[in-house]
Amino acid sequence: MADLALDGAPKERSTIEKVWGKVVGISRRSPTSIIGFVIILFFGFLALLAPLLMPYDPIAANPNLILSGPSAAHWFGTDGNGMDVFSRVIFGSRFAFGIAIPVVIIALSIGIPIGLYSGYKGGNIDEAIMRVVDAFRVFPSIILALAVVAAAGPSLLNVVLVIGILDAPIFVRVVRAEVLALRSSSFVESGLIVGNPTWRILFVHLLPNAIQGAMAQTAVRAAWAVRISATLAFLGIGIQPPTPEWGAMIRQGAEFMVNGQWWVGIFPGVALILMVLGFNMFGDGLQDLLDPKRRSGGK
């Protein structure tokens, strides 16, 4: 029952109470999404406030402190160049978000229009588009990314563009599947009868009803982008040292692991695992919330 005011009338709930009620409701339906969101929020906090949180310049080398272990002055120790690992891990969160967010935007911008058009048109056009999509998916993504980035150059822009283009087929397929199920619906036929052009049918009538699946995939694909970019850097093809990128830091740390200097690679590795875990948990929770079949337990 609604709370009653002194005069017996129902008391209006504040905006904060309404928001909190929705958060509690979501946490009950999908606790994994809340846990994942908290992890992402934590790294977002690190990325936004990195200049305030870093005790040292992340690319300032100190020859007198090469491979110094964790201490009160350097919580995560220093690397092979004498750079503070703690500061580099914090600043690395900026590169993680700086790759994940643009990659997802690029993939959505390419995949959604193509998926809409392919599913709506059908026939030979749909077949031709799907064969091109299959050609992208037939090769392992990491191998294709390695080849393209190696040819184009290991800059941040090239890494983002390559990963975003390679990930677009996922969204093409997801949106196309939704459109195939919707294109014979009454609201589409009504739009055609009144003379709506194709672009209006696609983006006004079909898109709002076909985008849920793509939105549910965004967090999972962001996790994939972070993982692939770190893999490229680890293999020496992606972002290059001394840029504080987690994959490049893990690569450097692997060289010292056998000699007992574990901190150089362990701390960026833990950060990478946690961020990927957070994106995956949030993405899985989004799918629970947005997919009617999963919400009903598949019934």
Residue 272 has pLDDT above 70, yes or no: yes
DSSP 4: B
Residue 92 sits in a domain whose CATH number is 1.10.3720.10
Residue 32 is predicted with a pLDDT of: 83
- Nearest CA among 299, 282, 255 for reference residue 38: 282
Residue 299 is predicted with a pLDDT of: 43
Residue type, 173: R
Position 5 in a domain: no
Position 16 in a domain: no
Rounded to 10 degrees, what is the CA torsion of 172, 174, 176, 178?
-160
Residue 13 has pLDDT above 50, yes or no: yes
Q: What is the pLDDT of residues 91-112, one digit of tens each?
A: 999 999 999 999 999 999 999 9
> What is the residue range of 46's domain?
24-295
Position 15 in a domain: no
- Nearest CA among 59, 94, 53 for reference residue 79: 59
Q: What is the 3 state secondary structure string of 173-211?
A: HHHHHHHHHHCCCHHHHHHHHCCCCHHHHHHHHHHHHHC
Residue type, 78: T
Dist CA 98 CA 80 (whole Å): 25
CA distances from 116 to 54, 168, 222, 293 (A): 45, 13, 22, 22
Residue 258 is predicted with a pLDDT of: 83
Position 19 in a domain: no
Query: pTM for the whole thing?
Result: 0.82
Residue 11 has pLDDT above 80, yes or no: no
Average pLDDT over residues 219-242: 87
Q: What is the pLDDT of residues 55-79, one digit of tens each?
A: 999 988 888 888 888 999 899 999 9
Position 72 in a domain: yes
Average pLDDT over residues 144-148: 81
Residue 26 has pLDDT above 70, yes or no: no
Position 218 in a domain: yes
CA distances from 287 to 45, 182, 261, 283, 284 (A): 25, 20, 41, 6, 5
Confidence of residue 193 (pLDDT cuts 50, 70, 90): confident
Report the residue count for the chain. 299
Position 11 in a domain: no
Neighbours of 11 (CB within 10 A): 11
Residue 171 is predicted with a pLDDT of: 93
Average pLDDT, the chain: 83
Average pLDDT over residues 279-286: 86
Tokens representing residue 210 in the block: 């076909």
Percent of the chain with pLDDT over 70: 86
**Cβ atoms of 174 and 115 closer than 8 Å:** yes
**Cβ within 8 Å of residue 237, ≥6 positions away:** 146, 149, 150, 154
Residue 287 is predicted with a pLDDT of: 74
Residue 153 has pLDDT above 90, yes or no: no
Degrees, nearest 5: CA angle 153-156-158: 45
Query: What does 128-186 look like in DSSP terms, one character per residue?
Result: HHHHHHHHHHHS-HHHHHHHHHHHH-S-HHHHHHHHHHHHHHHHHHHHHHHHHHHTTSH
Residue 1 is predicted with a pLDDT of: 44
Residue 17 is predicted with a pLDDT of: 57
Position 88 in a domain: yes
Residue 222 is predicted with a pLDDT of: 92
Counting the structural domains of the chain, the total is 1
Burial class (CB in 10 A: 0-12, 13-18, 19+), 162: buried
Q: Which residues pair with 78 in a beta bridge?
A: 84
- Nearest CA among 194, 197, 201, 200 for reference residue 179: 201
